[in-house]
Amino acid sequence: MIVRLYLRRSKNDEGKQQYSLDMQNAGCRDWLRASPFAACKVVQYVDDGEAGDQFLTRAGLRKLLAEAEPGDVIACRDQSRLGRDAIEVTLVIRDLVRDRGCRLYYYASGQEVQFANAVDQAVTFIQGTGHQMELEAIRSRVREALRMRARSGRVAGGRCYGYRLERVADGPGRSYTLAVIDEAQAEIVRRIFAWRCDGWGLKKITHELNTERVPAPRAGRRGTGSWSPSCIRAMLQNQRYRGVYVHGKIKKVRRAGVVSRVTAEPTEVITVDLPEWRIVDDETWSRAQEGFAVASQPRRASAPAAKYPLTGIARCATCRGSVGVANCRSQRRTVKAYTCIHHHTRGASVCPVTIYQPIEDVESALIAYVAEHVLTPDVIAEMAREIRAAIEAQLPRREADATELERELRDVKAEQKRLTKAVALADDVPELVTELRQRAARARALEVQIATIRRAPSELRALVDQAEATVRDRLGDVRAALLDRADLRAVFLRLFPDGIEFRPVRVGERQVWRLEGGAAVGRVALNESDAWFNLGEPPSPSAEGSASNRDDDDTANKIAGMNPAALNTKPSEQAWFKLDRDPNGI
Ligand SMILES: [Zn+2]
């Protein structure tokens, strides 16, 4: 039996002494000394800075839930530490106390939690409702304070091109941040609006700024250091440049422990006139909006699916930006061509590569190369033999302890059950579904291993034969799909998980793309759900048996001798492409 102490402090608890981690730690230890469990082994779980309604992202709580076993003692300050969402916290306590038979204590009241009948459940739920109401009250106070600041014009509203942030003192010991106009940047803003009013398109403005090497706004970690059409569009539509501050257009909502950002109702949005922020006059601002009418329609929730076989796979070797498809004129007709998107949208000063090579040209050359040099019948046969040899080498090592594997399988299944319950309660939680899928894959792998250990040698030989045949079929199918050009994009995605680099080279008079990359033949050949994939894996060494600590992807890759990456037929040598066919123009 183990005593497990749980401590949690959130940002909303700041300034409340009783919720400091030191106080919680001392409280737990005092309670423990006076309890009959003083001599037991103690494990402590801490979540610092985690909100009480986050149930999926709290690492400490997740670990506690993964490790608590029947008969264990769990202690924390009070129920609000476990969580501030009435339904979720009730489920956690039901799982621990009723389903697993753990004993749960709150040291603040000295009480042991009961969960035997409907009344116990109601008490837990009502306490949880109280804690949830407190959290909601704190959040609305914080929101209200922000809105007050916005109304009184004392607002910074984050970093924005054209303004700099200044600290302003307000009475003794207090200060706040204000945004004030930065004249040099404001001049650029005025030029952008003027160009737009002269009828310039977003791309032309972008090219001009990049050509003049005007420093671009900082865009966080994703920033590329250059101007982009989307940045120009956002600036032209920003009301701040005409002295109007709009607060609260996007709000955070929490559903099933996950925070997402949604558009707020118009009534929730605060609009404040801040004439000291004005950079352009109303007439200029309104004229700049002409032509944006279509864009102000509700936008698509997510980016459209990639249309061309190599978009999202191809990268420009010169600027590391993506290579995509654009129209170009060739022999008096318009054709689709692969080109560097940075060059195309941001101008030659951002990426000087001017290649527009017809997509048909690029794709045919790539298909021909892969069919002749990478996925050839010889390579396929060799790969199938290699995989057969790898599996056979593993067979003598399969004297594994089945009971160990069975114990792990039981743990994984119990966790699967818990996760299924959580998924049923919460709709649309990708993290939960991913975890559940990982457990399912692990359970399948364990079942296969256990079955294998108890198999007759003749059966094993049949399995190895089957493996070789399957690998050969699978690679053959990919080759056939490639030659038929059936769903090329799917084939390329499987073959080139690390992408393809497009490098500009000169061939005679012309510049063309040379494609370079590694083809993951081994990864195409093997599948984690194959019956023979885990054949040689020794029993899991994790003595704690806690499935949540294991990185399942890693497990799949560690399998000795069966590492799919290791089975690649030297990708760096095998699959270097060079496209040197002449493009049809440009
Ligand atoms: Zn480029």
pLDDT at position 565 is: 34
**Contact, 244 vs 286, CB < 8 A?**
no
Give the bridge partners for 512, in sequence order: 505
Mean pLDDT of 432-457: 79
Confidence of residue 382 (pLDDT cuts 50, 70, 90): confident
Fold of the domain spanning 2-128: Rossmann fold (3.40.50)
CA of 340 to the centre of ligand 1 (A): 5
Q: What is the pLDDT of residues 139-185, one digit of tens each?
A: 888 777 777 777 676 765 678 899 988 888 776 667 777 888 999 99
Closest-CA residue to 188 (of 279, 276, 283): 279
Closest-CA residue to 24 (of 10, 8, 40, 35): 8
Distance (Å, rounded) from C-alpha 436 to C-alpha 56?
13
Between helices 488-495 and 457-484, what is the axis angle to 10°?
130
CA of 318 to the centre of ligand 1 (A): 5
What single-letter amino acid sits at 165? L
Closest-CA residue to 552 (of 386, 452, 437): 437
What number of other Cβ atoms are within 10 A of residue 424's Cβ? Answer: 9
Pick the CATH number of 184-289 from 3.40.50.12780, 3.90.1750.20, 3.40.30.10, 3.30.450.20: 3.90.1750.20
Q: What is the pLDDT of residues 254-302, one digit of tens each?
A: 776 567 778 888 777 878 888 889 999 999 999 998 877 654 445 554 5
CA of 488 to the centre of ligand 1 (A): 24
CA of 352 to the centre of ligand 1 (A): 7
More confident residue, 25 or 449: 25
CA of 347 to the centre of ligand 1 (A): 10
CA of 205 to the centre of ligand 1 (A): 19
Closest-CA residue to 482 (of 357, 358, 374): 374
Mean pLDDT of 120-148: 87
CA of 511 to the centre of ligand 1 (A): 14
Proportion of the chain above pLDDT 90, given as a percent: 29
pLDDT at position 98 is: 93
Whether residue 113 is predicted with pLDDT greater than 80 in this model: the reply is yes
Confidence of residue 46 (pLDDT cuts 50, 70, 90): very high
Cα 355 → chain centroid = 33
pLDDT at position 381 is: 86
More confident residue, 573 or 420: 420
Mean pLDDT of 90-97: 94
CA of 214 to the centre of ligand 1 (A): 19
Confidence of residue 577 (pLDDT cuts 50, 70, 90): very low
Q: What is the pLDDT of residues 303-354, one digit of tens each?
A: 555 678 898 889 999 988 889 998 888 778 888 899 999 999 998 888 999 8
Query: In residues, how long is the chain?
Result: 586
**Contact, 569 vs 524, CB < 8 A?**
no
CA of 351 to the centre of ligand 1 (A): 5
Closest-CA residue to 162 (of 225, 200, 214, 220): 214
Whether residue 575 is predicted with pLDDT greater than 50 in this model: the reply is no
More confident residue, 527 or 3: 3
CA of 193 to the centre of ligand 1 (A): 28
Confidence of residue 97 (pLDDT cuts 50, 70, 90): very high
pLDDT at position 532 is: 62
Confidence of residue 538 (pLDDT cuts 50, 70, 90): very low
DSSP for 65-111, written as a single string = HHH--TT-EEEES-HHHH-S-HHHHHHHHIIIIIIS--EEEETTTTE
pLDDT at position 220 is: 56
Distance (Å, rounded) from C-alpha 51 to C-alpha 242?
38
DSSP for 116-136, written as a single string = SSHHHHHHHHHHHHHHHHHHH
Closest-CA residue to 519 (of 384, 365, 370): 370
Closest-CA residue to 553 (of 528, 532, 524): 528
CA of 343 to the centre of ligand 1 (A): 6
Distance (Å, rounded) from C-alpha 327 to C-alpha 338?
9
pLDDT at position 461 is: 78
Burial of residue 484, with CB atoms counted within 10 A of its CB: 0-12 exposed, 13-18 middle, 19 or more buried: exposed
Closest-CA residue to 202 (of 212, 211, 192, 214): 192
CA of 423 to the centre of ligand 1 (A): 43
Selection from 202-206, 371-375, 524-528 with the highest mean pLDDT: 202-206
Whether residue 466 is predicted with pLDDT greater than 90 in this model: the reply is no
Distance (Å, rounded) from C-alpha 96 to C-alpha 460?
43
Confidence of residue 545 (pLDDT cuts 50, 70, 90): very low
Proportion of the chain above pLDDT 70, given as a percent: 81
pLDDT at position 398 is: 54
Q: What is the pTM of this model?
A: 0.56
**Cα torsion 541, 547, 551, 552: sign:** positive
Mean pLDDT of 37-56: 88
Tokens of 107: 């040291």
CA of 577 to the centre of ligand 1 (A): 19
pLDDT at position 529 is: 64
**Contact, 404 vs 539, CB < 8 A?**
yes
CA of 321 to the centre of ligand 1 (A): 6
CA of 316 to the centre of ligand 1 (A): 5
CA of 320 to the centre of ligand 1 (A): 6
Whether residue 236 is predicted with pLDDT greater than 90 in this model: the reply is yes
pLDDT at position 96 is: 94
Closest-CA residue to 72 (of 100, 109, 111): 100
3-state DSSP call for residue 48?
Answer: strand
Tokens of 502: 């497009």
Confidence of residue 1 (pLDDT cuts 50, 70, 90): confident
Q: Where are the domains of the chain?
A: 2-128, 184-289, 367-574
The average confidence (pLDDT) of the chain is 79
pLDDT at position 539 is: 32
